[in-house]
Structure 1
């Protein structure tokens, strides 16, 4: 995006550039709605656009009165505005046009440009209705529409009449029709609605105000696939079908391709990458879960392999990889128009049909708390974005895409797409991820500052359920003039044969592992509810006690006691519980899908006061969801979700000798959790302090194996919600 003079009128008033999807183009302006123009009215988009630009206005009662005839004065106003004619001091010869009338200036502009004439030499008749023939003549003159020989179907026209060249020209160019198949009705008054529609179409087709043509950019986008590959052959079909229509469309991913299913557990990103290479992605940025393996014995070797084997470049503007033994050599802190596949750049410039498109990447600073980046560092996203935009503009890119994994509406105190759009000038498009947001239509954010252009934000939910599409129309200055976007539902697509064959090479092993039984049997389904699910419920594993959370923490406590009998409490961050367990035999596949991160069991020595601090952090976002919300075993507590953050926790009791007793804030407790949380993951600074002080022991026991052993030992499992965590605001 570059600053420049806006085009004199909408280049995409009626329809945007050729769209990836059958969606109307939206003009970038705040719509003014009229009570008599419903959203499903065929003129709705055009009227919204014209009203937002001040080209048309309604009546005091809030109506536009579409079917009311339009006067010569009103036509003068809208024509002079859309053509943006300069003021003129030409003296009018019309005796019925008062010097200070509301329409006089517009009539002067049109008259001096030979676009409009009077009824005769001295009479303009401003209040007289405009006929269909008169308006056709005005448009012919205003837009210099080429006349063409064609046979008209209308039987009510006089072939020698003054209006014939205009009617013929507009009809030949597909701009005008009759009131029925054989009747044009040249003397019939034109309605306000028809005038707007006809003017919009004519202006779009014949406006020569902009010397250079605009540019159309098409994008396909995905985010938060999380190793859900079973429907990937359908995604491949959708991508291929779009490319058949739009071969130059970019394909971008906004991170968290990896982690979440057995495909990642078995292949560490190589299966996911095989399909990305097949689909020929143009660029990707990193999600927080790309760094989940950082605490494993191999460190970021799997991520290194994922990057180096990619047939596309990565963009990352706010991550410092330099200290990491694997990733440091892959990163170049530069902006380049000649990126190599399998390498990481601050930003890149891609050329599409001769136009320079800048792309840079951002990853949430929360990654330090919610993943395992180790010595990989994260910098402020706004500072990084501003520098990236400046660098891209210096290279001549005036159409800039931010490929982000910071969330559409995440905590604004940390980072999110809407804050990015409002604070950083020069970003045209944000292709986002992280918050798993289903943006059925693009969202436009405009800063209050007059000199900031709008930014379009898109996001395509999760798990390859959708392929996002976006078409954007730019003028010659890189300023957005229109857009259209949609989400293509992947479940409705056919499987691509090549992709289906490729999936078979990975799925056989996954199916074998998935179907192995653990030895435990669930008497009933163990849900893992989320507010984002198709439900009106406000209950979530990330803000409430769940039966599955109880089962997992009971298993952690049981295993921890084998190594330290003094362990009395276990806690599990809910962000580490990824899905539900079905009724019946519990398979290895289910367990690995529930607990996919390869965490290990750790023991912490905490004062009671520190434990209470951790509980305050756990409920700090309630009633909203938080991955740091703790499921617990060996204790119970109350909290008030309506209370002030930092003062939500009420009573806290710990199981001692078979009964609950009040937490002793001065006593030291042995608390089991996963190594991720024990090192301060999900923002648990209290745990991080204990880790730094040597009060944490990582037992090195795999969380999923511990859980497998626990349910096998139980045989039949039927956990319930026991009142371990109670929100008193709901009582």
Structure 2
């Protein structure tokens, strides 16, 4: 399917929205009509394939398949780039054990061309990040992060764009020459990082729009008319900066390779706000996909065609084998050098419980449980360190997969409770929206429902005998962290959630609307690690949570 370049704005918006849900097997394509004035005849079209990853978060169990997929694309395409849009750090035990250097060995092995910084690259300060940068066999780019005063990274940092980037160094932007053509690449990192991670006072996050404009101008001065923004802003993130705004505000960007919001763009989204189209791509999360986009440029560097898809790295054949086999070299490195320590680490005891922690189906999907209380209390505590105004936390019962018997709590058991690796989200909700969400939560009661919300900082009553949508009877909130007061439907509250539910998972349309309106911040922080750290904060790392009457079905009274 080819999209003509001359279309009205409203029609284009509909096409862009459709592109988000297009099947990866049959991605939408963008094509401009032939223009003899700009193409100047045959032989002027330049083709480039960008392979891209983002938010891999130390998910290395399928890295050998990722490498094989990259090699297959390179074998099929003449001109290629391999880029990462940040958040290699944090998320699995591979990071806890190897601090990003395991991921980096595989990135070096397959030959990434450039990477930008995600917010989680700063989770352990710049000393850990500096070790990663120093060992990288590729340059890193971020036009709006200034490391000139940071003791660990200032020697690697160059506040400039360059035609001659050196591996293990940081630049505002770089130029890569691919088959004789100059490709400009610059990076952007969300300014939220200073609030949601630990970069330190000496790392400065500058205004992303202004820095992007300057980076484009600098790259164009050096002869690049095909420009890629490697962005860790989020596709439509509500934190104050995102790719949709970038595309509209900054002229001259041909492609935005995105990250941060974990958005699954199965086909490119095209923004036509300026004189030339901007192609936006993002490849979801956790190394589930290798993103690819095939581009055609005319002589002036304008994108005339864009056709992209996500390659499913975990897809299986009917016999259970993977469609994409392992790269043998990468598989051997993973199995012998890195995986044994991870298997051993899963047996680590992170704490103890004096009581059974009740989860699973149906308990966590039908009523309040002590494990649901413990998990949401931990989410609320973590969210408060990021936004002190947070007063509520929600966790869908379907994300609490099992019960933990009294005794030692191992990491393996925590990962069994929370196998999805859902990240933290912070939402701004009105009282009326909270009530609507709670009505959705109890719509199937007393039958089990995966969207049944466990809560912290809030208590409510409902009557499962009443019609759906009219069941919630009372709602109270601990606004001061201690005392419950009645929920005000007109007041705005800050609430922690997991990103699955915050985006509307389990049928929470009200949350989806809030997300789409930009009222959700995505600091990240994976659920199992937040829980483990919370348990570890108790005296002797021992917990004894109870059911407190946070959720009461009046029909059972």
Could you state the TM-score of these two structures normalised by the residue count of structure 2? 0.67
What does 1:382-531 correspond to in 2, within 5 Å? 382-411=209-238, 414-447=240-273, 452-492=275-315, 493-504=324-335, 505-516=337-348, 519-520=352-353, 522-525=357-360
State the match for 2:116 in structure 1: 285
State the match for 1:65 in structure 2: none
* Distance (whole Å) between structure 2 residues aligned to residue 489 and residue 46 of structure 1: 17
State the match for 1:240 in structure 2: 71
Q: How many residues are paired up?
A: 437
**Aligned match for 2:458, one of 616, 624, 636:** 636
* Distance (whole Å) between structure 2 residues aligned to residue 439 and residue 319 of structure 1: 26
Could you state the TM-score of these two structures normalised by the residue count of structure 1? 0.52
2:296 alignment partner, SS class: strand
How far did residue 323 of structure 1 move? Answer: 2.1
How far did residue 362 of structure 1 move? Answer: 0.4
Q: Is contact 2:236-2:243 (8 Å) kept?
A: yes
State the match for 1:346 in structure 2: 172
Q: Is contact 2:53-2:287 (8 Å) kept?
A: yes
State the match for 1:30 in structure 2: 7
What does 1:602-617 correspond to in 2, within 5 Å? none
**Aligned match for 1:310, one of 123, 136, 139:** 136
1:238 alignment partner, SS class: helix
State the match for 1:174 in structure 2: none
Q: Is contact 1:346-1:361 (8 Å) kept?
A: yes
* Distance (whole Å) between structure 1 residues aligned to residue 162 and residue 430 of structure 2: 45
State the match for 2:15 in structure 1: none
**Aligned match for 2:551, one of 712, 723, 728:** 723
State the match for 1:642 in structure 2: none
* Distance (whole Å) between structure 1 residues aligned to residue 93 and residue 212 of structure 2: 35
* Distance (whole Å) between structure 1 residues aligned to residue 432 and residue 50 of structure 2: 35
Cα 1:221–1:653 change in 2 (3 A) is closer
What does 1:134-283 correspond to in 2, within 5 Å? 209-210=40-41, 212-246=43-77, 248-283=79-114
Cα 1:592–1:705 change in 2 (3 A) is farther
Cα 1:391–1:723 change in 2 (3 A) is same
Matched, 1:550 2:377: no
* Distance (whole Å) between structure 2 residues aligned to residue 596 and residue 706 of structure 1: 23
Per-residue Cα deviation, 1:604-651 (whole angstroms, up to 9, x for no partner): xxxxxxxxxxx99687996699xxxx9976x53679xxxxxxxxx975
2:109 alignment partner, SS class: helix
2:185 alignment partner, SS class: strand
1:503 alignment partner, SS class: helix
Question: Which of structures 1 and 2 has the larger relative contact order (alpha carbons within 8 angstroms, sep 6+)?
Answer: 2
Per-residue Cα deviation, 1:669-728 (whole angstroms, up to 9, x for no partner): xxxx9xxxxxxxx99xxxxxxxxxxxxxxxxx9545236955x554xx78698339x9xx
Going by fraction, where is strand more abundant, 1 or 2?
Answer: 2
State the match for 1:128 in structure 2: none
How far did residue 319 of structure 1 move? Answer: 0.6
1:338 alignment partner, SS class: coil
**Aligned match for 1:333, one of 141, 159, 163:** 159
* Distance (whole Å) between structure 2 residues aligned to residue 241 and residue 281 of structure 1: 15
1:342 alignment partner, SS class: coil
* Distance (whole Å) between structure 1 residues aligned to residue 29 and residue 412 of structure 2: 55
Cα 1:456–1:223 change in 2 (3 A) is same
Cα 1:48–1:653 change in 2 (3 A) is closer
Per-residue Cα deviation, 1:383-440 (whole angstroms, up to 9, x for no partner): 01000000000000000000000011112x7111011111111000000001110001
Structure 2: which 5+ residue stretches go unaligned? 13-18, 316-323, 382-389, 438-452, 462-474, 487-495, 497-519, 522-531
How far did residue 662 of structure 1 move? Answer: 5.2
* Distance (whole Å) between structure 2 residues aligned to residue 377 and residue 46 of structure 1: 39
Q: Is contact 2:359-2:369 (8 Å) kept?
A: no
Cα-Cα RMSD = 4.7
* Distance (whole Å) between structure 2 residues aligned to residue 499 and residue 233 of structure 1: 5
Q: Tell me which moved more, 221-230 or 512-521.
A: 512-521
Q: Is contact 1:556-1:707 (8 Å) kept?
A: no
Q: Is contact 2:54-2:258 (8 Å) kept?
A: yes
Per-residue Cα deviation, 1:131-180 (whole angstroms, up to 9, x for no partner): xxxxxxxxxxxxxxxxxxxxxxxxxxxxxxxxxxxxxxxxxxxxxxxxxx
State the match for 2:537 in structure 1: 706
2:102 alignment partner, SS class: helix
* Distance (whole Å) between structure 1 residues aligned to residue 45 and residue 244 of structure 2: 27
* Distance (whole Å) between structure 1 residues aligned to residue 154 and residue 35 of structure 2: 56
Per-residue Cα deviation, 1:521-573 (whole angstroms, up to 9, x for no partner): 6443399x9xxxxxxx9xxxxxxx99756214657999xxxxxxxxxxx9797
Structure 1: which 5+ residue stretches go unaligned? 1-23, 34-38, 54-81, 86-206, 295-299, 530-536, 538-544, 559-569, 598-614, 640-648, 664-672, 674-681, 684-700, 727-731
Cα 1:336–1:653 change in 2 (3 A) is closer
Cα 1:653–1:391 change in 2 (3 A) is closer
Q: Is contact 2:191-2:206 (8 Å) kept?
A: yes
Per-residue Cα deviation, 1:422-470 (whole angstroms, up to 9, x for no partner): 11110000000011100011000011x5xx1110000000001000001
2:41 alignment partner, SS class: coil
Q: Is contact 1:236-1:496 (8 Å) kept?
A: yes
How far did residue 596 of structure 1 move? Answer: 13
How far did residue 652 of structure 1 move? Answer: 3.7
